[in-house]
Amino acid sequence: MKIQKRIEILKKETFAMFPDAVTDLLYDNEFQFLIAIIMSAQTTDIQVNKANAEFFKVLKTPEDGLKLWIPEIMEYINTIGFYKNKAKYIHQTCELLIKNHDSTPPKTIDELKELAGVGIKTAKVFLAVTEDAPYLAVDTHVHRVLNRVGIVHTQTPEQTDKKAEKIFSLDDLALLHHTLIFFGRYHCIARKPKCDSCPMTGMCKYYQKNKKSLTWK
Ligand code: SF4
């Protein structure tokens, strides 16, 4: 089956399953959203939300961040992975936002990447949500799904990201941003994909190869 046909099926089926997919992260403004994405690296959104239930009561602006010592930030976020580094990133990002961006998160990938703890994926997630920018946030879920259904054949999320930019149209990228994350997170799960209720078994290379040994059978 050709790649574009696979993309059409993926779009149709995943969007039908998760038509209202939005970010799971909780926040009240764009600054908090940026901080929440920085915190979410290698940590679940649920853990980030739990930490931020208290943290975001005192962190509503970059100026609030500079009033906190880094050890104080660590206290708020010490339930998430890599909290020591992330506390430093949060403090530095607050400083840079005040110094270079009038306390407002910038809206280009290059400017975002100059902030502390912000890589290409963080920047794309931020712009996709705040600007509806046509970026696919290729995390491990999206990387896994696109390989399983035979749309890419890559080894890392970074390789998948580059490939996706070439083969998906801008409209597809915008539409699939949250949908694919949800599909990977809640349906095409890493260890136990729900193939028994998946409409894409016909084209899925992973399913075709592993159907005899899949544990739900
Ligand atoms: S058939 Fe299974 S492995 Fe393939 S996309 Fe569906 S859930 Fe994922």
List the domain boundaries for the chain: 3-21+136-210, 30-131
103, 97 Cβ separation under 8 angstroms: yes
135: left (phi over 0), alpha (psi -120 to 50) or beta: beta
**Quick one: pLDDT at residue 213?**
81
214, 193 Cβ separation under 8 angstroms: yes
Q: Is 121 a catalytic residue?
A: yes
> Closest Cα partner for 103 from 57, 63, 55, 56?
63
For a mutational test of ligand 1's pocket, the pick from 6, 149, 191, i.e. the residue with the most ligand atoms closer than 8 A to its C-beta, is 149
**Across 8-19, average pLDDT:** 94
**Topology of 3-21+136-210 in CATH?**
Endonuclease Iii, domain 2 (1.10.1670)
**Quick one: pLDDT at residue 144?**
96
Mean pLDDT of the chain, nearest integer: 93
List residues near ligand 1 (CB under 6 A): 148-149, 187-188, 193-195, 198, 200-201, 204, 206-207
Evaluate if residue 177 carries a pLDDT over 90.
Answer: no
Residues near 188 by beta carbon (within 8 Å), at least 6 away in sequence: 141, 144, 145, 148, 194, 198
Evaluate if residue 20 carries a pLDDT over 90.
Answer: no
Displacement of CA 52 from its chain's centroid (Å): 17
> Residues 28-76: pLDDT tens digits?
999 999 999 999 998 999 999 999 999 999 999 999 999 999 999 999 9
Q: How far is the CA of 207 from the centre of ligand 1 (A)?
A: 6
Evaluate if residue 214 carries a pLDDT over 90.
Answer: no
Evaluate if residue 211 carries a pLDDT over 60.
Answer: yes
Q: Report the nearest atom of ligand 1 relative to the CA of 193.
A: 7
Q: Report the nearest atom of ligand 1 relative to the CA of 201.
A: 1
Displacement of CA 89 from its chain's centroid (Å): 18
Residue at token pair 């890493």: 190
Evaluate if residue 215 carries a pLDDT over 70.
Answer: no
- Among the listed residues 124, 139, 161, 172, the single catalytic one is 139
Q: In the structure, what pLDDT confidence band is assigned to residue 85 with cuts at 50, 70 and 90?
A: very high
**Quick one: pLDDT at residue 13?**
96
Angle between helices 157-167 and 3-17 (to 10 degrees): 100
**Quick one: pLDDT at residue 120?**
87
Q: How far is the CA of 177 from the centre of ligand 1 (A)?
A: 18
Q: Do domains 3-21+136-210 and 30-131 have the same CATH topology?
A: no
CATH 1.10.340.30 fits 30-131, yes or no: yes
Q: How far is the CA of 196 from the centre of ligand 1 (A)?
A: 9
